[in-house]
């Protein structure tokens, strides 16, 4: 075993963050927690501090940070406050690995800072590549860090690509197509004409995965798979035309890689995020994840079917944004975040999610993602327009 890894977990109170901590708890001799971060969940943060005793806990919300500091004054953990503290901890020289698990656009700046600091970055924040793919991948190449995918689908592809490293051509490896599998979410078998009436609770009731509310809605609209198409294109250096999405309701085959000789390699496993997390934490070694192994004797069948694009229009919106390039995917992600929150707040109907995102993309002029400030400005512009359009719906 190599030296003890000093780990930062961005988004420690979320589902991926908690799953990462579960894997770390299985290997206390291998990983030390340099810092955990959260936005404002004080009670959950206190529980994590008492259980794991990280050196630092970063709370983005300043008032919540003060509250947390008072609650854990008996511990050795030091509480830091504000978004600048996120950037500071990931760039610390002692830190070797960063789990980037902050959901949405909020995770972009600290994830990019970790990449620029040359860290091993475990990427669960797909929005970093969706919003600023070129900037992000250029930073990886420039600073010599290692980027490892955490989303189960991209991690499955990575495992099915022996010899691949970020920046290596898949054509050289004989790859002709990447297959992204999708469960289809909670509305796979529900008639399209009934979706206007669905509630946030129904949209969040994923049949296979235990996820946060935002990503659960994205799964229900299949925008999550659209964002993964963009993430896949940037991570593996392929075009949208080389990525196919296939419905696989069982969520056992997590993705596939098709080679020019006709071979298709896939990774199978239980629907448990601890598996891809453990793979990335120890890569290229293998460690115990704590997840149950898949019992193939109990797998009745594996079903695959094409996507109903009329029922799930968000997927086409993502492919179109990827093909357009520039800031289109930034607009897509920003508008989607705003509209999904409006749906969760019961301000807008489920079918309006795709409608408003499409309107935002149609109204904003595209441009080039020249730097982080340009991306942040484009994100804000799309959010403002989405809010305006929601009010009109």
Condensed to tens digits (0 to 9), the pLDDT of residues 284-313 reads 999 999 999 999 888 878 999 999 999 999
3-state secondary structure of 183: coil
How far, CA to CA in Å, does 132 sit from each of 55, 259, 336, 376?
Answer: 31, 29, 16, 9
Task: Read off φ and ψ for residue 208, nearest 5 degrees.
Answer: -125, -35
Whether residue 189 has pLDDT greater than 90: no
The pLDDT value recorded for residue 1 is 46
CA 306 to chain centre: 23
58, 60, 62, 68 alpha-carbon torsion, rounded to 10°? -40
Q: Copy the structure tokens of residue 211.
A: 């996820």
The pLDDT value recorded for residue 209 is 65
Cis ω before 261 (30° cut-off from 0): no
Number of H helices, E strands in the chain: 15, 11
Query: Over the stretch 158-173, which tens digit does the pLDDT of each residue have?
Result: 999 998 988 889 999 9
> Domain ranges in the chain?
5-149, 153-271+296-323, 325-393
The pLDDT value recorded for residue 146 is 87
How far, CA to CA in Å, does 131 sit from each of 107, 120, 194, 332?
Answer: 11, 20, 32, 9
Three-state SS sequence of 109-167: HHHHHHHHCCCEEEECCCHHHHHHHHHHHHHHHHHCCEEEECCHHHHHHHHCCCCCCCC
| Of 277, 361, 269, 355, the residue nearest 24 (C-alpha) | 277
Pick the CATH number of 325-393 from 3.30.70.270, 2.60.120.620, 1.10.287.3510, 1.10.1740.10: 1.10.1740.10
Q: Copy the structure tokens of residue 288.
A: 């115990």
The pLDDT value recorded for residue 210 is 66
Q: Is the distance from CB of 16 to CB of 99 less than 8 angstroms?
A: yes
Domain 5-149 has CATH 3.40.190.100: no
The pLDDT value recorded for residue 298 is 87
pLDDT (average), residues 122-128: 90
The pLDDT value recorded for residue 300 is 76
Q: What is the pTM of this model?
A: 0.91
| CA within 13 Å, CB half, 121 | 35
Whether residue 97 has pLDDT greater than 80: yes
Query: Over the stretch 335-375, which tens digit does the pLDDT of each residue have?
Result: 999 999 999 999 999 999 999 999 999 999 999 988 999 99
Whether residue 111 has pLDDT greater than 70: yes
Whether residue 323 has pLDDT greater than 90: yes
pLDDT (average), residues 205-213: 73
Q: Copy the structure tokens of residue 242.
A: 């080389």
């Amino acid at each position: 075993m190599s030296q003890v890894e000093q780990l930062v977990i961005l988004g420690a109170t979320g589902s991926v963050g908690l799953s990462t901590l579960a894997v770390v708890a299985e290997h206390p001799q291998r990983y030390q927690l340099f810092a955990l971060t959260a936005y404002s969940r004080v009670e959950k943060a206190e529980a994590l501090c008492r259980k794991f005793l990280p050196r630092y806990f970063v709370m983005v919300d300043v008032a919540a940070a003060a509250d947390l500091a008072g609650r854990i004054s008996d511990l050795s953990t030091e509480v830091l406050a504000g978004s600048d503290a996120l950037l500071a901890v990931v760039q610390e020289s002692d830190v070797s690995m960063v789990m980037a698990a902050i959901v949405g656009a909020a995770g972009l700046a600290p994830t990019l800072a970790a990449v620029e600091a040359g860290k091993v970055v475990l990427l669960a924040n797909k929005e970093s590549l969706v919003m600023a793919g070129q900037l992000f991948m250029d930073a990886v190449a420039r600073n010599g860090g290692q980027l490892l995918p955490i989303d189960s689908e991209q991690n499955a592809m990575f495992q099915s690509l022996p010899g691949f490293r970020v920046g290596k051509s898949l054509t050289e490896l004989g790859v002709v197509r990447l297959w992204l599998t999708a469960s289809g979410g909670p509305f796979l078998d529900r008639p399209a004409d009934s979706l206007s009436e669905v509630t946030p609770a129904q949209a969040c009731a994923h049949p296979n995965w235990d996820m946060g509310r935002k990503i659960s809605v994205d799964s229900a609209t299949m925008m999550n798979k659209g964002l993964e198409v963009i993430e896949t294109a940037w991570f593996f250096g392929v075009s949208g035309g080389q990525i196919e999405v296939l419905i696989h309701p069982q969520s056992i085959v997590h993705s596939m890689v098709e080679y020019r000789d006709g071979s298709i390699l896939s990774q199978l496993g239980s629907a448990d995020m601890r598996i891809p997390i453990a793979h990335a934490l120890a890569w290229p070694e293998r460690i115990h994840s704590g997840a149950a192994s898949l019992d193939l004797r109990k797998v009745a069948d594996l079903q695959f079917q094409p996507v109903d694009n009329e029922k799930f229009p968000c997927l086409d919106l993502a492919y179109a944004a990827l093909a357009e390039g520039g800031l289109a995917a930034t607009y897509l992600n920003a508008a989607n975040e705003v509209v999904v929150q409006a749906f969760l707040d019961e301000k807008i109907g489920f079918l309006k999610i795709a409608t408003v995102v499409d309107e935002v993309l149609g109204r904003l002029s595209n441009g080039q993602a020249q730097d982080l400030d340009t991306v942040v400005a484009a994100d804000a512009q799309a959010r403002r327009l989405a809010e305006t359009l929601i009010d009109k719906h």
